Amino acid sequence: MDTLLYLFACYGLTFALCDATILSGPRRLFRRVAFFREMLECYFCTGFWASAVVFAAWAYSNGFLVDASSPWHTAAYVLVNALAGAAFTYGLNVALTYLERHTPEVWVVGEKVDDA
């Protein structure tokens, strides 16, 4: 259950950063910088950093501390979790985009709903 929560939290943060209306103002400002503009256009890229943030928040809340005797182990653990979150985020975005593009038009009470 923790894994699913982690993965969907990664997707949720990535979606909020890339597409959510509520963050359109800050996103406009960040897109002025080439690095952030390119990152925000890539779900895998944004998903990687969002997953690292989600993992860090989870680790902090669960008392996960950096192992001073083996910092490379800790770095590898963060990297693996960030990559897993990024892969899930990218895959889910591809699947949802496909469904959005290939779903028939929606009708409500006999009237066509405008997609635009």
Partnered with residue 111 across adjacent β-strands are: 108
Q: Model-level pTM greater than 0.85?
A: no
Using one digit for the tens of pLDDT, what is the confidence trace for 81-104? 999 999 999 999 999 999 988 888
Using one digit for the tens of pLDDT, what is the confidence trace for 62-84? 777 666 677 777 788 889 999 99
Instruction: Please give the distance of CA 8 from its chain centroid, rounded to a whole number.
Output: 8
